[in-house]
Structure 1
Amino acid sequence: MAEFLTIVGLSLKVALFALIWALPLGFVLGYVLATKRFFGRRLLSVVVMMPLVMPPVVTGLVLLYAFGPNGAVGQLLAPLGISFAFNAAGAALAAGLVALPLIVRPIRLSFEHVPKDLDEALAVAGLTPWQRFITLYAPSALPGVVAGGVLGFAKALGEFGATITFVANIPGETQTLSLAIHSALQAFDQGQLVLWLCLVSIGISGLAIWGSEFLLSWLERRLTGRRAVRHV
């Protein structure tokens, strides 16, 4: 039971911290890609979406070469006492990076559906870009933020390939639900543990999606008085 609770607690912690850094970054990227036109925009979009289509092992290797003890970024952070290799922080980094495309996409779509004529009307009325962002863009993006957050959390919770490549499968340190299920499947006497871990994974994912549906409906009623269009 102690091992089971450790695995579940670590998995939730990793997914939460992955969301803490990936969701704000995804919000900024979604806004920039949806509303700005600049040289390299398509290249930025490709880079952001690549973790979604690349093999997760490749993503893990990229992180290892960049943030590992011998990596360029890892060597810069080492004197500051910051390390991402083979620890929970690295697991959150890997999970957040793989989840980032799923966070950016719905947020970007929400920004892209903001009426341009309404933005122009507010500009003519004298509102500054920051005021237009607060009054128009930010409320319109809330459903996308909720959808992206839920998708990102679910993806981070179930991440396997990038995590095991970058931070290995260390019990109590980096062994999340997916890694624990993989390890338990290699043993002949861990069938019950596999079952419970699978049930918890299904339960957490279902609860997260149900919560997002409820929150989307509440936001839609508050913003427009109409029932929400489902994003997840």
Structure 2
Amino acid sequence: MRDRLGRPPALLVVPAVVATLLLLVPLVAMVASTDWQALPDHLTSRTALDALRISLLTSTVAIAFCLLLGLPLAWLLARVDFRGRGALRALVTVPLVLPPVVAGVALRSAFGRTGLVGEPLLEWTGFAFPFTTWGVVLAHVFVSMPFVVIAIEGALRSADPRYDDAAATLGATRWTTFRRVTVPLALPGVVAGTVLGWARSLGEFGATITFNGNYPGTTQTMPTLIYVTRQADQDAALSLSLVMLLVSIGVLVALRDHWLGTP
């Protein structure tokens, strides 16, 4: 069938090649520009290790919250028919298109010391999110949650709902059906959404620095460290960026069945 269609037209192939090069060349250039001899010193510095620790810790905690909250929300969107479901789905996707700095401003308006939620929280408990590691977690949850919800909702929608119906006819409650039928059938999608959300959290920059600043050992993550390091030491910034590139490649490998498989 493909042979009978003829050769691909140059008007389509050439732009496709240009698009591929546009995506690939900057990454190759970054790797080629890295000072490999200085790489170990850059990656083992106290500042870099602290930023990596904060990034891994906050991303892991954030994705746990995303999964805890996002899985039920995805199930609600996929399995329950209610008025306003379309509006709720649109609301969930807003952080995907929101500029990261605006996301940080929104978080400060809600959870800042004088924010809608932050002010009474500070009065009642003495705790404030901004400029703390928990504030970084909150920012990561805000920007990563849509990735988790959308991926899991898609997986739940692709799972045949008739299995849920069969479990109900056998006397299973909706909670039992959710735990033993729905989630196991959609588990690959749940894992994919979790990995995507974790990777998005690890690379978060704009909302984090706007809401929490950039304090080493507390709120400074790898992306914010790269940003400030680039202004003083380009070679060190390249080395740190290489770490993030390797993490991104690792995510692709983890999701190879979704993106690298053959049709």
Compute the TM-score of the two structures, normalised by the length of structure 1: 0.86
Matched, 1:33 2:77: yes
SS at match of 1:29: helix
- Quote the residue 2:104 is aligned against: 60
Q: Does 1:74 align with 2:118?
A: yes
Post-superposition offset of 1:231: 6.3
Q: Is the 8 A contact 1:150 1:209 kept in 2?
A: no
User: Normalising by structure 2, what TM-score?
Assistant: 0.77
Select 1:183's aligned residue among 223, 228, 234.
Answer: 228
- Cα distance in 2 for partners of 1:11, 1:125 equals 46
Paired residue for 2:201, among 138, 145, 156? 156
The aligned amino acid for 1:198 is: S
What is the CA deviation profile of residues 52-81 of structure 1, one whole-angstrom value per residue up to 9, with x for unaligned ones? 011111111110011000012111211213
Contact preservation (8 Å) 2:252, 2:259: no
Which of residues 8, 29, 47 is equivalent to 1:3? 47
TM-superposed deviation, 1:85: 0.6
Give the Cα separation in 2 of the matches to 1:33 and 1:126. 24
8 Å Cα contact 1:143-1:231 kept in structure 2: no
For residues 7-29 of structure 1, what are the alpha-carbon distances to aligned partners after superposition, in whole Å with 9 as ceiling and x for unaligned? Answer: 11111112112112112111111
Letter of the 1:191 partner, please give it.
Answer: Q
Percent identity over the alignment is: 40
| Structure 2 gaps, min length 5 | 1-44
3-state SS of the aligned residue for 1:230?
Answer: helix
Give the superposed CA RMSD. 1.7
CA offset at residue 120 of structure 1?
Answer: 2.2
Give matches, 1:1-232, under 5 Å: 1-78=45-122, 79-187=124-232, 190-213=233-256, 229-230=257-258
> Where in structure 1 are there 5+ consecutive unaligned residues?
214-228
Alpha-carbon contact 2:230-2:236 (below 8 Å) kept: no
